[in-house]
Amino acid sequence: MSGYIYMHRKEKGRIVEGYVPWDEAKIHVLSHVIHYSSGVFEGIRGYITDRGVAIFRGRDHYRRLVRSAKIYRMFAQDYMPPEIAGDGIPPVERVVDYFMRITGELIRKNDLYNRAKEVKEKGDMANPFVYIRPVIYRGYDVGDDPILKPPLGVNPLGNPVEWFIAVFLWDDYLGTEAIEKGADVITSAWAKNAPSTTPFMAKGASNYATGQLAKMESVLSAFFKDYDKVRRLKMGDSLTRDDLFLPVESIQLTVSGHVAEGTGENIFVVIYRDGDPQRPIIYTPPIAASILPGITRDSIIRIAKDEGYEVVETMIPREMLYIADEVFFTGTAAEVTPIRTVDGIPVGAGKPGPITLHLREIYTKLVRGQIEDRYGWVEYVE
């Protein structure tokens, strides 16, 4: 079966848009985004439920996409069809409605609801979900004489603003074991950019350059599980894969050495007052810590406060990760993922803690339509 991607591009001075077969979805190699990262994007999740595909906070994601583009001077009137753009600056909600409509049509056109059920029944995916990836970027319009001075300088204003939306099936981002038992992570040597270098309130492609380095650093690392066993090793003794923690993710620090976020997730740290899990304080880095203001992060903060937990947004020193009672990631792909070790040091008891599990349970049931959506966050595609 061939899938489809919705594309809005400029070719020889005219707009070309519509559903494109997956194998035919292409951009020019001289597109500005390839050379200078002049693009912004979103990751949106759709859950497979009895009512259809439940898109979680899709409108909030698309609002952030439009605002991210605006920070990079890619304005809605530059990339919206005339009927949406009108004569001036189109209202954000009109653009959001348009993107949501196309997203629903794409999900149906690619038959993702039925495909998800098929791959799960066949065992090809453990927990398939619909992943929605919209991108707004600076492209390249081939002129009458393409060899003559193509617009390929750092200045992006001569390049057309283009966009596409792709939808496909994905599985547990950090692996099923990380979801169930907790993730093993490291703190990366690659720091986040300083706030004055790249705008982190925009979900820009350039923000993930160091994230790629940090991600590779984690998946190519290993830590000993049993330090006593290591100390007892003699010449000729060997270690097996089961003797090692194999990190699946990195935590990046700010340029001042404070905790920022994962390569694609926000982070939360739980400390029990006087060692009592009934009296937790939940800490998370503030927006000023060079983090993306995550949609899932915001959701967990609101759920936690409604559950009566104290949530504090503050700068977090690295060593707090080692002494925390619980640590967990949040993100569109990661959802709520417990962290069981940081740099080989167990977090708390080295397994998911009660606060993390409680918040994850509420979040999971809400996004899957199993409890009342009191926030109005879910929209269904039937």
Average predicted confidence (pLDDT) for the chain: 93
Q: Among all residues, which ones are annotated catalytic?
A: 203
Alpha-carbon torsion (111, 113, 114, 116), positive or negative? positive
Is a pLDDT exceeding 60 seen at residue 304? yes
- Which region, left, alpha or beta, applies to residue 367 given φ > 0 means left and ψ of -120 to 50 means alpha? alpha
pLDDT bracket for residue 48 (50, 70, 90):
very high
Least confident of 100-104, 136-140, 173-177, 202-206: 173-177
> Would you state the torsion angle of the CA atoms of residues 208, 210, 212, 214, taken in this order, to the nearest 10 degrees?
-130
Give residue 146's pLDDT.
75
Neighbouring-strand partners of residue 187:
251
Query: Considering 136, 170, 204, which residue would you say is the last residue of a domain?
Result: 170
Q: Which of 139-148, 282-291, 293-302, 361-370 has the lowest mean pLDDT?
A: 139-148
Q: Is the same domain home to 73 and 111?
A: yes
Strands (E), 273-325: 280-284, 310-313
65 domain residue, yes or no: yes
- What average pLDDT does range 261-268 have in this prediction? 97
Q: What is the pLDDT of residues 12-40, one digit of tens each?
A: 888 899 999 999 999 999 999 999 999 99
Q: Is the pLDDT of residue 239 over 90?
A: no
Q: Average the pLDDT over 45-59 and give the result.
A: 97
Cα(58)–Cα(90) distance, rounded to whole angstroms?
Answer: 19
157, pLDDT greater than 70 = yes
**379 is a domain residue:** no
CATH code, domain carrying 93: 3.30.470.10
Based on the fold, state whether residues 197 and 331 are members of the same structural domain: yes
Select from 147, 170, 193 the last residue of a domain: 170
Average pLDDT (269-278) is 96
pLDDT at 332: 95
More confident residue, 147 or 116: 116
Q: Over the stretch 79-88, which tens digit does the pLDDT of each residue have?
A: 999 888 877 7
Q: What is the pLDDT of residue 64?
A: 98
Domain with 84, as residue range(s), is 4-170
Res. 1 pLDDT band, cuts 50 70 90: low
Cα–Cα distance between 136 and 8 in angstroms, integer?
9
**Per-residue pLDDT band at 6 (split at 50, 70, 90):** very high
Same domain as 126, residue 206: no
Task: For residue 286, tell me if it sits in a domain.
Answer: yes
Asked if 155 and 257 sit in the same domain, the reply is no
pLDDT of residue 138: 97
Task: Give the tokens for residue 294.
Answer: 């995550």
Q: What is the total count of domains within the chain?
A: 2
69 falls within a domain: yes
Instruction: Judge if 158 and 279 occupy the same domain.
Output: no
Do 268 and 283 share a domain, yes or no?
A: yes
Q: Is the dihedral of CA 261, 262, 268, 269 positive or negative?
A: negative
Determine which of 83-92, 106-115, 287-296 has the lowest per-residue pLDDT on average. 83-92
Whether pLDDT at 2 is above 70? no
Domain with residue 182: its CATH number is: 3.20.10.10
User: What's the whole-number mean pLDDT along residues 337-364?
Assistant: 96
Neighbouring CB atoms inside 10 A of 168's CB total 15
Q: Contact 158/151 with Cβ under 8 angstroms?
A: yes
- Same structural domain for residues 220 and 123? no
Q: At what angle do helices 295-306 and 58-71 cross, to 10 degrees?
A: 130
Domain boundary among 119, 139, 170: 170
83 shares its domain with 60: yes
Mean pLDDT of 54-61: 98
Residue 263 has pLDDT above 80, yes or no: yes
Lowest mean pLDDT among 212-216, 234-238, 276-280, 349-353: 234-238
Residue bearing the bigger pLDDT, 348 or 236: 348
End-to-end distance of the chain based on CA atoms, in angstroms? 20
